[in-house]
Amino acid sequence: MANNESILSFKKVSFGYSEDKLLLNEVDFAIRRGTKTTIMGQNGAGKTTLFGLIARDILPESGTINVVNGVSIAVSRQVIPRHELDLTVREFFEKSLANCSNKKVYDIDPKIDDILEVVHLVAPHDKIIKSFSGGQQARLLLASALIQNPDLLLLDEPTNNLDKAGIEHLTQFLVNYKKTCIVISHDAGFLNSFTDGVLYLDVFTKKIEQYTGNYFDVREQIITRQEKENRKNAQLEKEIQANKEKANFFANKGGNLRMVAKRMREKAAGMEEEKVDIRKEDKTIRSFVIPAQTDIKGLIVHITAFRAIKNHKPVQRKTDIELRRNQHLLLKGPNGIGKSTLLELIAKNEAQGTEITQGVRIGYYRQDFSTLNFEDTVYKSLSWAAGEQSEEMMRNIASGFLITGDMMKTKIGNLSEGQKGLVAFARLVLQKPGLLILDEPTNHINFRHIPIIAEALNKYEGTMIIVSHVPDFVSKIRIDTVLDLED
């Protein structure tokens, strides 16, 4: 097949999880063989759902999805499903290969070693998946797709949890990748390094717009078009309002002037139809403050020792860090060194070498959102965090995080990963913690929200411990102390 021919196409495809929740409405696009395409759209627009349709995990309500005969597809998901966390590395890859071939794969160990080398990960084949760090699990997810050697590779937020070295390695891999690839990501610099084109999912019109060019060029095209359409609509709105005012004036005069008023109203109605049905700009969350617990003073956290992982073995190290109110600590170190494990133990007040003052309320943002009960509705989850605060207060805070209407009735487990992140932040605002623990808080979050989150964390007046591999994000937050687990 020639490279300029389509490997995948959507024709008038519609899909929704319920009658009143349509995600895609008669969308059309085509993907050429050998291209690298980015999917853009705000949280909840249906980006991951689109991958499900392409991979045939779900079926469209109407329309046709054409994949060229013989084309194999593999998906690198955002997170490893909970029911797979107890698998060994070998069982995890056996399942991935069985999914693509529907038969048992023999002599799999050499294949696993080869593909782990591609993603720069050393992993014993009998090690349990849940014992790996978030960054290591991200590499395992990518490797589980690559080991299938697919013709069409679908990557869903592949840079989440990856450290700088991991992102650089993945970027170079995609630059050199010869097959077809579609990527969902909020990392603009990463996307711009390899993107040939963009599919933009409009959460308002439920359509997909297709653009050609690198990520930055396409983003500029969208902004330019939007500004042009907004100017046209603003001019029409001005003329419409003038005609309505004239119509009202003539109608009050009575007699033949009523016919003039009627024509003026008809003219205004015609102009309404001329208005461009433009895409509304992605909504951003409102600026917010995470209130700090006020009934605590003095030393909040004292860290005298911690455990790190070196050459796959735990190593005990000493330090002397005292954290009081309004002090922020950054934990640093490469993937797999034990940052998330240390945060979890501190959050549970079980970390040897760490003392937390009694009575301190802990707010914990986990990268896998396991602090949320996936069976709870959003309303129930927020109500728990709100405690005795009024429902009006709770709903007002929720709306600032774009949590309104039907989303309140939705189970946490049915939300997109980005929406789960917004619920987690809303809970922190309601909790008013004295100690805020954050593990990769930008994962899955729409890039429009990230500066607002950084501003809130920068202004947080309680004690904060944070892990993040996003330098630009960290640079916007006041950091008083750094603990590098590698030193």
pLDDT in tens, 302-333: 999 999 988 778 899 999 999 999 999 999 99
pLDDT per residue as tens digits for the range 153-163: 999 988 887 88
- Answer whether residue 276 is part of any domain: no
- Indicate left, alpha or beta for 41 from its phi (over 0: left) and psi (-120 to 50: alpha): left
Q: Do 202 and 307 have their domain in common?
A: no
> What's the whole-number average pLDDT of the chain?
88
- Answer whether residue 257 is part of any domain: no
- Answer whether residue 263 is part of any domain: no
Q: Do 45 and 192 have their domain in common?
A: yes
Q: Do 189 and 308 have their domain in common?
A: no
Q: Which of 219, 234, 252 is the last residue of a domain?
A: 219
- Answer whether residue 160 is part of any domain: yes
Q: Is the pLDDT of residue 226 over 80?
A: no
Instruction: Identify which has the larger pLDDT, 392 or 3.
Output: 392
pLDDT at 279: 46
Q: Is residue 5 classed exposed, middle or buried when 0-12, 13-18 and 19+ CB atoms within 10 A define those classes?
A: exposed
- Indicate left, alpha or beta for 389 from its phi (over 0: left) and psi (-120 to 50: alpha): beta
Q: Which of 193, 219, 245 is the last residue of a domain?
A: 219
Q: Is the pLDDT of residue 54 over 90?
A: yes
Q: Do 211 and 304 have their domain in common?
A: no
pLDDT at 91: 93
> Which residue segment(s) compose the domain that 42 sits in?
6-219
Instruction: Identify which has the larger pLDDT, 247 or 177.
Output: 177
What CA–CA distance (Å, rounded) separates 484 from 462? Answer: 22
Q: Is the pLDDT of residue 213 over 90?
A: no
Q: Do 193 and 306 have their domain in common?
A: no
pLDDT at 2: 45
- Answer whether residue 56 is part of any domain: yes
The Cα-based distances of 10 to 15, 25, 63 in angstroms read 12, 11, 8
Q: Is residue 166 classed exposed, middle or buried when 0-12, 13-18 and 19+ CB atoms within 10 A define those classes?
A: buried
Q: Do 176 and 325 have their domain in common?
A: no
Average pLDDT value for residue range 383-407: 93
Q: Do 202 and 67 have their domain in common?
A: yes
- Answer whether residue 251 is part of any domain: no
pLDDT at 300: 97
Q: Is the pLDDT of residue 4 over 90?
A: no
Q: Is the pLDDT of residue 278 over 70?
A: no
Contact 73, 151 (CB under 8 A): yes
What CA–CA distance (Å, rounded) separates 303 from 321? Answer: 5
The Cα-based distances of 52 to 104, 155, 235, 366 in angstroms read 24, 12, 42, 25
Q: What is the pTM of this model?
A: 0.69
Average pLDDT value for residue range 223-227: 74
- Answer whether residue 170 is part of any domain: yes
Contact 381, 369 (CB under 8 A): no
Contact 142, 170 (CB under 8 A): yes
Q: Do 431 and 311 have their domain in common?
A: yes
- Answer whether residue 225 is part of any domain: no
Task: Enter the tokens of residue 277.
Answer: 């049905």
Residue 422's domain is classified under what CATH number?
3.40.50.300
Q: Do 198 and 327 have their domain in common?
A: no
Q: Do 208 and 316 have their domain in common?
A: no
Q: Which of 219, 240, 264 is the last residue of a domain?
A: 219
Instruction: Identify which has the larger pLDDT, 336 or 476.
Output: 476
- Block residue for tokens 């030393």: 299
Query: 3: pLDDT confidence band, cut at 50, 70 and 90?
Result: low
Name the domain count of the chain.
2
pLDDT at 463: 98
Q: Do 67 and 191 have their domain in common?
A: yes
pLDDT at 101: 60
Q: Do 187 and 39 have their domain in common?
A: yes
Average pLDDT value for residue range 251-276: 70
